[in-house]
Amino acid sequence: MLSYRHAYHAGSHADILKHLVLMLCLEHMNTKEKAYTVVDTHAGAGMYLLGTPQARQTGEYAEGIGRLWARTDLPAPLGRLLAVLGAVNGDGRLQRYPGSPWIAAHLARPRDRLRFAELHPTDHALLRRTFAAQEPRVTVERSDGLMLLKAALPPPSKRGLVLIDPSYEMKNEYLKVAQAIKDALQRFATGTYLVWYPLLPLLEASQLPQKLKKAGAGHWLQATLQVRSPSGESRGMRGSGMFVINPPWTLAAQLEQTLPFLANVLAQDAGATWQVDSFEQKTA
User: pLDDT of 171-203, one tens digit each?
Assistant: 899 999 999 999 999 999 999 999 999 999 999
Q: Tell me, what's the pLDDT at 211?
A: 96
User: pLDDT of 96-118, one tens digit each?
Assistant: 999 999 999 999 999 999 999 99
Structural domain boundaries enclosing 178: 6-219
Strand partners, 136: none
Three-state DSSP class for residue 213: helix
Task: Classify residue 54: in a domain, yes or no.
Answer: yes
Compute the distance between CA of residue 270 and CA of residue 246 in angstroms, rounded to an integer. 33
Task: Classify residue 84: in a domain, yes or no.
Answer: yes
CATH, residue 138:
3.40.50.150
Compute the distance between CA of residue 109 and CA of residue 62 in angstroms, rounded to an integer. 32
Task: Classify residue 200: in a domain, yes or no.
Answer: yes
Compute the distance between CA of residue 219 and CA of residue 199 in angstroms, rounded to an integer. 22
Active site residues: 165
Strand partners, 138: 114
Length of the chain counted residue by residue = 284
Taking a C-beta distance cutoff of 8 angstroms, is the pair 209, 178 a contact? no
Q: Tell me, what's the pLDDT at 233?
A: 54
Q: Tell me, what's the pLDDT at 162?
A: 98
Cis peptide before 156 (omega within 30 of 0): no
Task: Classify residue 269: in a domain, yes or no.
Answer: no
Of 51, 53, 52, 50, nearest to 12 by C-alpha is: 50
Task: Classify residue 263: in a domain, yes or no.
Answer: no
**Strand intervals (E) in the chain:** 37-40, 47-49, 96-98, 113-117, 138-141, 160-164, 192-199, 219-226, 239-245, 273-280
Taking a C-beta distance cutoff of 8 angstroms, is the pair 226, 270 a contact? no
Task: Classify residue 29: in a domain, yes or no.
Answer: yes
Mean pLDDT by 10 residues, the chain (284 residues): 65 96 98 98 90 72 93 96 93 91 96 94 89 82 92 96 93 95 97 97 94 94 96 76 97 97 96 96 70
Task: Classify residue 238: in a domain, yes or no.
Answer: no
Q: Tell me, what's the pLDDT at 133?
A: 67
Interior CA angle at 227 toward 42 and 225, to 5°? 55
Number of domains in the chain: 1
Task: Classify residue 273: in a domain, yes or no.
Answer: no
